[in-house]
Amino acid sequence: LAKTTQPISMDSYEGQEVNITCSHNNIATNDYITWYQQFPSQGPRFIIQGYKTKVTNEVASLFIPADRKSSTLSLPRVSLSDTAVYYCLVANNNNDMRFGAGTRLTVKP
């Protein structure tokens, strides 16, 4: 299973764009990159998933360079309610996802 590395914590202010980068140097050809969000006292929640290039949904964008050794989760115009832990996971259809420690994002007023 590809190991992921992401910053332990990040701070931002309301209205700013936040980019969280995840390194996965050993990503396999058939691996997908998935991001989850977890609020206190709740289970993780799926945000976005991608294989290459760029994926966008109503919540976030995911940028994956051509070598796929890293990925960046982009949260546009964050609000206080985006304060959470964000997990980057890499897996394929033959291996289930393993969670790392995640990135604790704190959005300040």
Partner 1 sequence: EAGVAQSPRYKIIEKRQSVAFWCNPISGHATLYWYQQILGQGPKLLIQFQNNGVVDDSQLPKDRFSAERLKGVDSTLKIQPAKLEDSAVYLCASSLAQTGVNYGYTFGSGTRLTVV
Structure tokens at 35: 């991001």
Alpha carbons 10 and 105: distance in angstroms, whole number: 5
Q: Which residues pair with 97 in a beta bridge?
A: none
Which residues lie near partner 1 (CB under 8 A)? Answer: 32, 34, 36, 41-46, 49, 85, 87, 91-102
Of 10 and 97, which CB lies nearer to partner 1 in the complex structure?
97
Closest distance to partner 1 from the beta carbon of 14 (Å): 25
Closest distance to partner 1 from the beta carbon of 77 (Å): 24
Of 16 and 21, which CB lies nearer to partner 1 in the complex structure?
21
Whether the Cβ atoms of residue 49 and residue 64 lie closer than 8 Å to each other: no
Alpha carbons 101 and 92: distance in angstroms, whole number: 20
Closest distance to partner 1 from the beta carbon of 6 (Å): 10
